[in-house]
Amino acid sequence: MVAMKAYDNPAIKTIEEFKEDVDKFLFLTRICSKENMDFSRTNLLLNHIVTLLNIFEPELCVQMMFFKVKNENWDKLKTVLVFLNRMPEQVSGINQSEIKLCQKLIENLRKI
């Protein structure tokens, strides 16, 4: 329901297209769950997050990302959101300072 309210894609024509866009959150969780964050996975993660932020209303999108991604992978998500300057001070009652940054992602993002 939150995804429907936050959805902002004027080119949508069918409910199947909406479902495909919502499935991007599933891909995001899969990418974040990978242990080895090499340069190609970093780019893939960055692309998925940018795509989601462009499709859904950004503030609600960030909340949905943190809801979908497991707590132990929040460092990867936060690192990319900080890189994009989209990390809010608090997400779902959690202060962003409580979430560490992923050093491997930082190294890869600096190469971009």
**63-88 pLDDT per residue, tens:** 999 999 999 999 999 999 999 999 99
pLDDT at 1 over 70: no
- Which amino acid, residue 30? R
DSSP 20-88: HHHHHHHHHHHHHH-S---HHHHHHHHHHHHHHHHHB-HHHHHHHHHHHS-GGGHHHHHHHHHHTT---
Residue 71, Cβ neighbours under 10 Å: how many? Answer: 9
- Reported as a pLDDT band with limits 50, 70 and 90, residue 15 is confident
Q: Which residues contact 32 (CB under 8 A, 6 or more apart)?
A: 45, 69, 70, 73, 76, 77
pLDDT at 94: 82
pLDDT digits (tens, 9 = 90+) for 43-67: 999 999 999 999 888 988 999 999 9
Model's pTM, two decimal places?
Answer: 0.87
pLDDT at 42 over 70: yes
